[in-house]
Amino acid sequence: MKRLLWIGCLSYLVIGIAHVVGGSVLEPMMAHYGLAYRDGGQWIMNQFLGFLAGVLLAPALSGKLGKRGVVLLAMGALTVSEAAYSLLLPWEWMLAVAPIAGFGFGMTEAIVGAMVIDLVKDGKASAVSRLETFFGLGALLIPITAAYLIQQHIWQLSFPILAALSGITFVLWLTMSFGNETDDALAAQPAAGQRDSSDTAVSIKRGKRGEAGVYGYAYSALPFLALAALFFMIYVGMEMSFSNYLPSIMIDRSGMEEAGAAAVLGLFWGMVVVGRLFAGVLADRIGYVRYLAYATIGATIVISLMGMVQGLAGMLILTALCGLFFSGMFGIALVYANELLPGMTERTTSILVAFGGLGGAIFPRITGWMMDVFHVGATLWYIAALVGLLLVLLIVMLVLGRKRKLAITG
């Protein structure tokens, strides 16, 4: 199990880089192609449309190819697409390749995350937090690397670096053994309609209609699932909007050069990594509900302050605080949702990550348009409004979550 968790961490390191590499080199890439922010937003949107497809297809393909086969397919797609990016193809081709890249890192995130939640029996929050820490580490390393490459005027090397790491991870998934029992679980191809191995959903009260409900979920579970999906859509859309345009925001607010602005993105992800080192342990100790409430309230306050502060020092401090508050929200919310929807780990993870991908496709596109039309100040208030909406959704989720807990244990 330890070996599986560590290769899962490596996979999350790679997809962390894949998520952020576009934002890290967005400024020089737009200059290279002579394009506007809305065009960069279209490229990011195309990636996340592919991400959405990869996440939605993950459970079905897992049933046919097994979990290991799906990870190999995803890593292969990511390796090929990043290699294609390295060629700096005509912009139309870059837009066409983008969904393949998104397909690769989206499917990897969904299947590896579900795998760990499903197979790890104790300390799920800590295990998922470890995955998310490596995601953050990847998202930290690439801006720092990109800042150096931009300074040396070879920013395009960011893409072959990612292609090489993805290719190495592909080979490890192909050749590594995790022990007979785990290998069998990864290669298993369940019969059509079979549910997750952790199936405890049969013990859940089915509600007044006495039926399984929709898509395998009890009718009483659907409002909570819908709110959780909306929460993930807005959270990922907000985080991707903030992180991908953070270098551009810093250039506008402080007059920093491109390399320095890319390094600020490294500060953000560095604090995300620091936060994730403690997020799982903290959430296990104080409870998922409290952790999510504190994190969302803190993020709402900090992003609102960013809309009012213009000095470099203040922006750097608030950027660091954003990283801390954002650090565990995705992973802990994923564990929390799966705890209240037992027996459906792979499907629930796929749905929630898919809606996250939908948010990652839609909101950065809107953010790019706002950067062009309304500039940075209004864009920051727009992002602050998204975080405020997250807080409202979380409050309603927590109310429904209590009812779900009673339905499961009662």
pLDDT the model gives residue 179: 62
The amino acid present at 283, given as its one-letter code, is: A
Burial per residue of 192-228, b for 16 or more beta-carbon CB atoms within 10 angstroms, e otherwise: eeebbebeebeebebeeeeeebeebbbebbeebbebb
Residue 241: how many other CB atoms lie within 10 Å: 28
Domain positions in the chain are: 2-176+211-409
Q: What is the pLDDT of residues 129-179, one digit of tens each?
A: 788 788 888 878 887 888 888 888 899 899 999 999 999 999 999 888 766
Q: Which residues pair with 217 in a beta bridge?
A: 214
Question: What is the spatial distance between Cα 23 and Cα 244, in angstroms, rounded to a whole number?
Answer: 4
CATH superfamily of 2-176+211-409: MFS general substrate transporter like domains (1.20.1250.20)
Asked whether the beta carbons of 306 and 384 are under 8 A apart, the reply is yes
Place of tokens 């996979």: 11
- CA-to-CA dists, residue 170 to 101, 186, 211, angstroms: 14, 15, 42
| Positions of the chain with pLDDT lower than 50, given as ranges | 190-212
Which DSSP state fits 152? Answer: T
Give strand ranges (E) for 316-404. Answer: none
Q: Which residues contact 85 (CB under 8 A, 6 or more apart)?
A: 94, 97, 101, 159, 163
Burial per residue of 289-298, b for 16 or more beta-carbon CB atoms within 10 angstroms, e otherwise: bebbbebbeb
| φ and ψ at residue 154, rounded to 5 degrees | -130, 40
pLDDT the model gives residue 180: 57
Q: What is the pLDDT of residues 127-136, one digit of tens each?
A: 777 887 888 8
pTM equals 0.73
pLDDT the model gives residue 203: 36
Q: Which residues pair with 214 in a beta bridge?
A: 217
Look over the chain and give the mean of its residue pLDDT values, rounded to a whole number.
Answer: 82
Question: What is the spatial distance between Cα 30 and Cα 64, in angstroms, rounded to a whole number?
Answer: 40
Q: What is the pLDDT of residues 247-260, one digit of tens each?
A: 888 887 777 777 77
Residue 104: how many other CB atoms lie within 10 Å: 29
